[in-house]
Amino acid sequence: MTDAIYPQVRIVSTRFLKPETAEQLLNRLIQVGGIRRMSINGPNLPATVPYGPARGQPNPHPDRKVIRVGDQDVQLQVQVGTIILELEDDSYIPGIEEAVDEVFADKGFSCTVQQGRYMKTKPTVSDYARYGPDADEKILGLVDPGKKGGPTIIQGTR
């Protein structure tokens, strides 16, 4: 959960990103700093075929890759379409916009930075019913807290 005092931005590109572009963008965003939490959204890329006659067979997908963000390896499980950020304060937003413009300058498609509220601030009754009283509040509302493997922590300079 988050306190409502922290500003949030959403980065939406008009095309789905290749892992290389996502890696480049995320590393550039980290340089801006001031990011408390980050969530990468997009359609799922399952490791096995989820349904149909070939259900359960391995699903090799070239975009389901490990990328290097800061000092951490991140296993991509989605095709990156949207990045949600929670910032420490408003002063970082121009820097984020600049970073996005810089990365997408030569890509041939656009990307917008929106401000708003994209993360939950309070657990809902459904969350309680689904995940129980001990669900990890840090990731509730961003990903399924029941999923194995917690968040990736990228150390800042402070």
Which of 4, 57, 124, 156: binder of other proteins (CB under 8 A)?
Answer: 57
Give the closest residue to 37 by CA, choosing from 158, 156, 125: 156
What residues between 105 and 124 interact with other proteins by CB under 8 A?
Answer: 107, 109
Please list every residue from 84 through 103 that binds other proteins, using CB under 8 A. Answer: none
Question: Residue 141 contacts by C-beta under 8 Å, 6 or more apart in sequence?
Answer: 1, 119, 120, 123, 127
Q: Does 62 bind other proteins (CB under 8 A)?
A: yes
Site pattern 15..54 for other proteins (x: CB under 8 A)? xxxx--x---------------------xxxx--xxxxxx
Token pair recorded at residue 155: 């150390």
DSSP-derived pairing of the beta strands 111-116 and 8-13: antiparallel
Among 14, 114, 115, 152, binds other proteins (CB under 8 A): 14
Q: Output DSSP code: residue 90.
A: G
Tokens of 58: 């391995």
Task: Give me the least distance between CB of 143 and other proteins, in Å please.
Answer: 18
- Answer yes or no whether residue 77 interacts with other proteins by CB under 8 A: no
Size of the site for other proteins (CB under 8 A): 27
2 near other proteins, rule: CB under 8 A = no
Determine the Cα–Cα distance for residues 36 and 142; give it in Å rounded to an integer: 13
Burial of 119 (0-12, 13-18, 19+ CB in 10 A): buried
Give contact residues for other proteins (rule: CB under 8 A): 13-18, 21, 43-46, 49-54, 57, 59-63, 79, 81, 107, 109
